Amino acid sequence: MQVYFDNAATTPLYPEVIQKVTDVLEQYYGNPSSIHSIGRKSRTIIELARKEISSYLGAKPQEIIFNSGGTEGINFIFHSAINDLKVKRIITSKIEHHAVLECLPLNQKKIDVQYVTIHSNGLIDLDSLEHLLAKKKTKTLVSLMHVNNEIGTITDLKKCGEICAKYQSLFHTDAVQSVGKLSIDVKECLITFLTASAHKFHGPKGTGFLYIERNSGIKAQISGGGQERGLRAGTESVHNILGMSLALKLSYQQLDQNTNHISQLKTRFLNRLKEIFNDLIINGIENNEQLGLPHICHVTFPIPKKKAQLLGFKLDMKGIACSQGSACQSGTPIGSHVLDELSNDSKDEFPSFRFSFSKFNTIQEVDYVLASLEEIANN
């Protein structure tokens, strides 16, 4: 049996999306910038996709910029915020994705970088955000992720946006793990910039989008033919954009149904896991859909080191795909910078794993993984 429980790393495509991408590759090969009718056909479908995507976020179509995904979007916003918007300070958290954290040292000479406090369960302490903003008045970009990719904790974007607005701060959210899984209204949450990536919601890889609030003053980081309203040059990836827009549509159409199904999987998985492993440590939020995404389940297994070393390998041998350590990073099971910030004293002694679910997973798969874990633990 093959079980894919690594959906926070990437997701399988919806079959409808594969079909769509293929159809578009075949039928819409024109360059959207060409003025003849074959080019204009491609332009039309891109603009329809932009409209569709914007409608799910409460944005205007012209506020959506297509790009290659999360890493590019985050780099774009950070560099432009500093170079063009003259931001002098960035406030973020130590549990952000590396796409954010690795952007920071580059700029540290020019700007002040400050970190909000993280609660022991991984939630961001928004009082500490307000405290930092109130303490020093300078042009600031706040960048806080919506859902943490390792432990699934959810940041209250509305509250965060209100605090940022109160102190006239720009607000960027890395929503790579939440778009397509949680409802987001960028206007209601007073978000200035939002980053998303199609491969996390059953769309194609290497494709994503940025929400950039109108008149934000952001400038191009990639120059050339003036595509994407002059903000991101390069011929648009028409098939991927159409695949992404369909993936988002399907995700939001089935949102409640998918969330219920995935919550059931997580509850069954965790309840049984606690029976198999006494002293199991659950990293993040156990069971609260307001505070933790049901798609992500991060645990530390209290098992002897000798068994722990081979756990990942044995799961793989049984056809089970999940993540060990901070495996969003090139698959290397190195220590997790996120767990370092939580009050998990056992993280260095015992192995930690992330199991992440999607609508395509089943109860049978959950039971198979549980039986496999039990067998490995008892041998």
Q: Quick check: 197 and 70 in contact, CB under 8 A? A: yes
Q: Out of 52, 63, 174, 213, point to the residue binding ligand PLP (CB under 6 A).
A: 174
Mask of contacts with ligand PLP, 15-54, x by CB under 6 A? ----------------------------------------
x-marked contacts with ligand PLP along 316-335 as a string, rule CB under 6 A? ------------x-------
Determine the residue type at 55: S
258 near ligand PLP, judged by CB under 6 A: no
Q: Which residues pair with 4 in a beta bridge?
A: 321
- CB 75 to ligand PLP: min, Å: 9
Which residues in the chain belong to E strands, given as ranges? 3-4, 64-67, 89-92, 112-115, 140-143, 170-174, 193-197, 208-212, 281-283, 296-300, 320-321, 323-324, 352-356
Q: How far is the CB of 41 from ligand PLP (least distance, A)?
A: 28
Pick the binder of ligand PLP from 132, 170, 176, 248 (CB under 6 A): 176
Choosing from 20, 43, 50, 97, the residue that interacts with ligand PLP (CB under 6 A) is 97
* Active-site annotation holds for 328: yes
Q: What are phi and psi of 51, to 5 degrees?
A: -65, -45
| Smallest separation (angstroms) from ligand PLP to the CB of 179 | 10
How many CB atoms neighbour CB 27 within 10 A? Answer: 12
284 touches ligand PLP by CB under 6 A: no
Pick the binder of ligand PLP from 32, 69, 122, 180 (CB under 6 A). Answer: 69
Stretch that binds ligand PLP, among 52-60, 63-71, 81-89, 336-344 (CB under 6 A): 63-71
Q: How far is the CB of 309 from ligand PLP (least distance, A)?
A: 26
Q: Which of 206, 282, 233 minimizes the C-alpha distance to 33? A: 233
Residue 208 Cβ vs ligand PLP, minimum distance, rounded to whole Å: 5
CB 267 within 8 Å of CB 317: no
Q: How many CA atoms lie within 13 A of 253 on its CB side?
A: 8
Closest residue to ligand PLP, based on beta-carbon distance = 70
311 is an interface residue for ligand PLP by CB under 6 A: no
Phi and psi torsions of 333, nearest 5°: -80, 60
Phi, psi of 181 (to 5 degrees): -120, -25
What is the rounded CA–CA span in Å between residue 199 and residue 204?
A: 5
DSSP string, 295-335: TEEEEE----HHHHHHHHHHHHHTTEE-EESSTTTTT--PP
Stretch that binds ligand PLP, among 65-73, 164-172, 280-288, 369-377 (CB under 6 A): 65-73
Among 71, 153, 251, 356, binds ligand PLP (CB under 6 A): 71
Q: What does 142-186 look like in DSSP terms, one character per residue?
A: EE--SB-TTT-BB--HHHHHHHHHHTT-EEEEE-TTTBTTB---T
Cα separation of 88 and 170, whole Å? 11
**99 lines the binding site for ligand PLP (CB under 6 A):** yes
Task: Report the residue number, 186 or 328, with the smaller CB distance to ligand PLP.
Answer: 328
Catalytic residue among 103, 160, 322, 328: 328
Nearest one of 278, 97, 223, 235 to 172, comparing CA atoms: 97
Taking the C-alpha atoms of residue 86 and residue 249, their distance in angstroms, rounded to an integer, is 36
- Single out the residue of 92, 197, 283, 344 in contact with ligand PLP (rule: CB under 6 A): 197
At its nearest, how many Å lie between ligand PLP and the CB of residue 69? Answer: 3
In the complex, minimum distance from the CB of residue 249 to ligand PLP, in angstroms, rounded to a whole number: 19
Span of 31-39, 67-75, 122-130, 316-324 interacting with ligand PLP by CB under 6 A: 67-75
Q: Which is nearer to ligand PLP, 90 or 376 (CB)?
A: 90
Catalytic residues: 328
Site residues (vs ligand PLP, CB under 6 A)? 69-71, 97, 99, 145, 149, 174, 176-177, 197, 208, 328
